[in-house]
Amino acid sequence: MSTLTVSLVQYDIQWLSPEHNFKKIERLTAQLQPCDLLLLPETFATGFALKEQTAEFADPALTFMRALAAQHNCVVAGSVLVSEGDKKANRFYWCWPPALNEETGRVEYYDKRHLFCLGHEGNYVSAGRDRKVFEIGDFKILPQVCYDLRFPVFQRNRNDYDVMVNVANWPAARRFAWDTLLRARAIENQCYVLANNRIGEDGYGTAHNGGTVALDYLGQSLLQVPDDQTGVITTTLSKEALVQFRTQFPAHLDADDFNLEC
C-alpha cells in the first residue's frame, strides 16, 4: 500500500453519554468514503471525565469501535478511559476490521504517557510506559494522545514511523500551542501528522474549538475541519512522496543518537 487514506471526525462530545456519541458518529460516517484509517477524538464516548465513574462505558465503547471497523472495513482508532488498578488509563485503541473467516479483528492500544500535572491528571490516571508504533500497509504510525504533543523527545522519529497521530480534548484557551506544536512535530520529524480534536464545552466548563487537521511532512495543511464545526475530512497520504522528500532532504542523518528510557 503506497497510499494511506484517512478520515478524521470532529464533533461536540456529549458528557458521559456514550449512546448519544455513538449515534452522532454513526450519522457522521454514514456516507464515509472508503478509507484505511478512521480517527475519533480522545475519550470520544464520554468526554474527558477524569473524576467521574467511567468503567461501565469502556466495554461498550470498544464494542462500538470494533463494529464500526467491520462496517467500514478500516482501522478505527480513538481513546477510551478504562479501569487500571485503582485509577484509569487513557487507552488509545486501534481496532482492525475482521479478516477473512474472522468475526472480529485484532485490537491493539497505546496508553497515554504524559499526564497534565496542573489538572491533577495523575491523581486519576496511570501513565502509560510503552512507546508504540502500529502498521497499516506500508505505513508505520506513532499514536499519541493530547498532552503528549508537548514532549518532542518521546515523539522523536528514529526512522521508525511515517505518520504521527494525536487525538485530543485540547482546550481552546491553548489553541495557538496546538497549531504550532503540530506543525513543529511534522517538520522536525519529517512525517505526516494527523490531529483530531473536539469542539464544544465539556462537563467541567472547558471550551474546545477544534483544530482537526492533516499535515504533510513540511507542516503544511492538507485538509482541516473548520473551527467550531462538526465535520469529517478525508485525505490520502503518499508514501512515495514522503520517501522522496526524505531522500532529497535527509536531515534525519544528522540527528543525535540517544536511547529513550520510560
Any catalytic annotation for residue 146? yes
Whether residue 169 contacts residue 148, with contact meaning beta carbons closer than 8 Å, is answered with: no
Cα dist from 133 to 49, 86, 140, 144, 164, whole Å: 27, 28, 6, 10, 9
C-alpha cell at 133: 508504533
Q: How many CA atoms lie within 13 A of 141 on its CB side?
A: 26
Q: What is the DSSP letter of 173?
A: G
Chain centroid to CA 8: how far?
Answer: 9
Instruction: Please pick, among 35, 74, 146, 191, the residue that the annotation labels catalytic.
Output: 146
**Which of 24, 42, 88, 121 is an active site residue?**
42
Known active-site residue 112: yes
The residue annotated as part of the active site, out of 24, 74, 95, 112, is 112
DSSP bridge partners of 188: none
User: Mind telling me the catalytic residues?
Assistant: 42, 112, 146
